[in-house]
Amino acid sequence: MEKIAHHDGSEARLFAGGELTTFPLDNLALLRAFVAVVELQSFTAAGKRLSVVPSTVSKHIAALEQLLSCQLVVRTTKTLSVTELGTRFYRRCLVILHEVEEAEIEVGDYRSEPQGLLRVSAPTTLATHVLAPIFFRFKKFYPKVTLELSLTPASRDLVASGTDVAIRISSGLDPSLIALKLAPNMRLYCASPAYIEARGAPATPAELHDHDCVVVRSIQQSSSWQFPNADGRTEHVVVSGGLSADNVELVAQAVRAGLGVGHLSRFLVEDDIASGRLVELFTRNRVVESHIYAVYPERRNLALKTRAFIDHLREEFREPPAWAL
């Protein structure tokens, strides 16, 4: 049975080659070098992150492989790849280095000012339309924090990926995570003036059966569109059209181009509606099927940099933005 990343205060015991290997904490620089090489896929880039020359990174990797008696990285003149054991070892290194960093936070200068590497993930469209200035203001407030942003539409395992905080749009979250609700994801129905001129505006949701609709293919956004009624019930209308995509930005562009009716987050199209590039339909039928959250793993001693980022988000969303109303 694999046992890994156990700390006893003076040394870490790491899995290598099927055996547990005692690893002195004096050699944590080797772990940091290995993690940097895996993440950046370059000895030169890893050296820049660690402020050392590439040859030092190379020596660290060689020393680590010798210590563990296994090959972690395969390097040729043109490519660099990580072995299967190297990939497993990398995941364990993230856990170890995070624990070491938390220990440093408790006893070092980190208590006085947030600093260090903060990994944040967020959906691409939300980040580019809403979160970018919020991220930038945080970086200006805390210049010693290195903010590493990963923009992806998929939800990733926070612990396995080493992510400190993830921004997610969701209707249901993993109960093992701590979640801070930031804002409702208000969605509306819209079409371009050109489409309405050519096809007319649907007067009721049921009339969408006779219209082209541009659909976002995903778990939460499908061809079954919701319409809340005055009596509190929800009507579902199944729509169809000549174009669908798994990228919400592309769908929004298709709606702007007059290819059909769209069901999109208000934050994505509010400027289009304000400028007249798009026309909102069924203005009384805006829906909230999901919310925007900041989530992070439950830890008793949250790093100061992470706590500062969570507090920053809480303050930024203290007043609901216009697109959430």
CATH number at residue 150: 3.40.190.10
Average pLDDT rounded to a whole number, residues 113-142 = 95
Counting the structural domains of the chain, the total is: 3
> Poorest-confidence range of 101-115, 193-207, 235-249?
101-115
Q: Span 52-60, mean pLDDT?
A: 93
Reference 29, options 84, 97, 76; nearest CA is 97
- Residue 42 within a domain: yes
Tell me: do 238 and 206 sit in the same domain: yes
Give the model's pLDDT for residue 233: 82
CATH of the domain at 81: 1.10.10.10
Place of tokens 């008793």: 300
Average pLDDT, the chain: 86
Identify the weakest region by mean pLDDT among 62-76, 100-114, 282-296, 303-317: 100-114
Same domain (yes/no): 52, 12: yes
Asked if residue 131 and residue 54 are part of one domain, the reply reads: no
Rg, C-alpha atoms of the chain: 25
Tell whether pTM > 0.85: no
User: pLDDT value at position 105?
Assistant: 67
Confidence of residue 19 (pLDDT cuts 50, 70, 90): very low
The CATH code of the domain that includes 190 is: 3.40.190.290
Tell me the residue range of the domain where 154 lies.
Answer: 114-183+290-320
The yes-or-no verdict on residue 288 having pLDDT over 50 is: yes
Residues 192 and 314 in one domain: no
CA of residue 179 relative to chain centroid, distance: 14
If pLDDT is split at 50, 70 and 90, which confidence band does 77 have?
confident
Q: What is the mean pLDDT of residues 220-241?
A: 83
**Between 108 and 214, where is the model more confident?**
214
Considering the domain boundaries, does residue 325 fall inside one? no
Instruction: Give the whole-angstrom CA distance, residue 11 versus residue 1.
Output: 21
> Could you tell me if 262 and 135 lie in one domain?
no
**Stronger pLDDT, 218 or 307, i.e. the higher one:** 307
Mean pLDDT across the stretch 292-308?
Answer: 85
Q: Are strands 261-265 and 213-216 parallel, antiparallel or unpaired?
A: parallel
286 closest CA partner among 270, 305, 306, 308: 270
Q: In the predicted model, is pLDDT for residue 295 greater than 80?
A: yes
As a whole number, mean pLDDT of residues 65-72 equals 90
Domain membership of residue 276 (yes or no) is yes
- Report whether pLDDT(267) > 60: yes
**Rounded percentage of the chain residues whose pLDDT exceeds 70:** 88
Which residue has better confidence, 271 or 104? 271
Domain boundary among 54, 80, 107: 107
